[in-house]
Amino acid sequence: MKKKTKILVIIIIFVLFMITFAYLFNVNRILEKRIEYLEKRDTILSDRITENAANISNLQTQKQNVNNESEKLAESVFDNSPTDGLSPISEEEAKKVWEEFKKEYNIDEYGIYYTQKIQVKDVIPNTYLYYNYYQGKVEGRQATFTRKAYVFICNRNNENLDWVDGYVDMYTGKVIGGRFYGV
């Protein structure tokens, strides 16, 4: 009887060993598949990170180029070349220049500034309308001379609260400054 009990205990131990082995083998397969999935996911995410890093680098380069261009444009308002012999641009041409400037420098970001009046005046060129001036990247400056310009007097959403004046040089056709004012 003792021999049969020993054999039964050995068989039970062997069966438990086989069940444990089968369970561990199955868990190992599941973990291997999970690791394979995670490695694929990691590769995909690494590729995305590399792609996004390249995109960020491109955007930073573009932003720097825009900043440099904006700074050059802001500097160009201080061109005091003589206007002798030059013909003034038309009011319509000046209006096109002003509208394009508003789009490029996002003047209408918080509401559309509608032109209420256009005047011809002697103005002091400045950098106050340039986008980078509002980001603190172009120092707001004024010239020490005046230029004859079309002055576009505009208010936001026709509400008479927020105003912007834009100066378009009558002879060069460039936006040479302006100002925001109001509430």
pTM for the predicted model, two decimal places: 0.61
pLDDT at position 131, please?
A: 58
pLDDT at position 137, please?
A: 57
| Start-to-end Cα distance in the chain | 104
pLDDT at position 1, please?
A: 65
Q: Mapped to the 3 state alphabet, what secondary structure does 93-151 carry? A: HHHHHHHHHHHHCCCCCCCCEEEEEEEEEEECCECCCCHHHHCCCCCCCECCCCEEEEE
Note the pLDDT tens digit of each residue in 29-84: 999 999 999 899 988 988 888 888 888 887 787 777 666 666 666 667 788 888 88
pLDDT tier for residue 88 given thresholds of 50, 70 and 90: very high
